[in-house]
Amino acid sequence: MSVSSRSSPRRLPDYPAPTAGTSRTPALPPALGEAAGGAGTGLLFLREEQIRLAQDLFFFAYRDLTASADLILEELGLGRAHHRALHFIGRHPAITVSELLTLLRITKQSLGRVLGDLVARELVVQAQGRADRRQRLLSLTDPGRALERRLFERQRERLVAAYREAGGPAVEGFRRVMRGMMDPETRRLIDPRDPVTPGGIISERRSGS
């Protein structure tokens, strides 16, 4: 259900203070950052502005980080969805389709198209599972691995720079906060200790190595 209905040249109030006392705000609200609570565990560090700043940081950092690989993808006629698939397949060779679906949280249809492209281009291969022959275990081919690496390098530069600037303890803090933002199930997923279900990435389906 679309909502649009803008068409006539709406009348506009000719003064910039439409609703309640909403005067112009400065570029960004001042109270935050190091100033607020020092590096200590001050009591006020949960003020609303802090949280809103985190939203901003997240939006912009994610936007810029993902954008850094887009040039390469565009040249190849691939999209971010392809990148995500390459990333996770590269990180978990012989992953099953359903595990990949769980990681990406998209539907079979959506993944199907992306995966079809990648297989057609011979960036990904499917192998029949040995233990369960219904499964199509996904792995990168050599060209697939090469492409994934090219994409990775672009983001690596940024992340290395960010890590280096921020320093080790900051990186540790970064990780802790990021983990805290995830759903508990997701957290378990990326946590080496306490593997989700004994065996596979998601559900044990280990077959022997």
Position 108 contacts DNA (CB under 7 A): yes
Task: Give residues with Cβ within 8 angstroms of 50, minimum separation 6.
Answer: 32, 36
The answer to whether 94 and 127 have CB atoms below 8 angstroms apart is yes
Q: Which two tokens stand for residue 17?
A: 């203070």
Selected binder of DNA within 52, 60, 80, 149 (CB under 7 A): 80
**Residue 75 site contact among DNA, its own copies, none (CB < 5 to 8 Å, cut-off depends on kind):** none
Minimum CB separation of residue 59 from its own copies in Å reads: 7
Position 25 contacts DNA (CB under 7 A): no
Selected binder of DNA within 30, 42, 93, 116 (CB under 7 A): 116
**Residue 107 site contact among DNA, its own copies, none (CB < 5 to 8 Å, cut-off depends on kind):** DNA
Position 171 contacts DNA (CB under 7 A): no
- How far is 183 from 105, CA to CA, in rounded Å? 13
Main-chain dihedrals φ then ψ at residue 127, nearest 5 degrees: -125, 140
Minimum CB separation of residue 4 from DNA in Å reads: 8
- DSSP-assigned letters across all residues of 92-124: STTB-HHHHHHHHT--HHHHHHHHHHHHHTTSE
Q: Which of 102, 96, 132 is nearest to 208 (CA)?
A: 132
Position 176 contacts DNA (CB under 7 A): no
Task: Give residues with Cβ within 8 angstroms of 99, minimum separation 6.
Answer: 92, 200, 201, 202, 203
- How far is 69 from 86, CA to CA, in rounded Å? 13
Selected binder of DNA within 18, 40, 77, 198 (CB under 7 A): 77
Determine the number of helices (DSSP H) and then strands (DSSP E) in the chain: 9, 2
**Residue 123 site contact among its own copies, DNA, none (CB < 5 to 8 Å, cut-off depends on kind):** none
Minimum CB separation of residue 87 from DNA in Å reads: 12
Residue with tokens 């590096």: 39
**Residue 102 site contact among DNA, its own copies, none (CB < 5 to 8 Å, cut-off depends on kind):** none
Minimum CB separation of residue 41 from its own copies in Å reads: 4
Q: In the range 134-153, which residues lie near DNA by CB under 7 A?
A: 134-137
Minimum CB separation of residue 13 from its own copies in Å reads: 5
State the residues that interact with DNA by CB under 7 A: 1-2, 6-7, 77-82, 84, 96-99, 104-110, 112-116, 126, 129, 131-137, 203
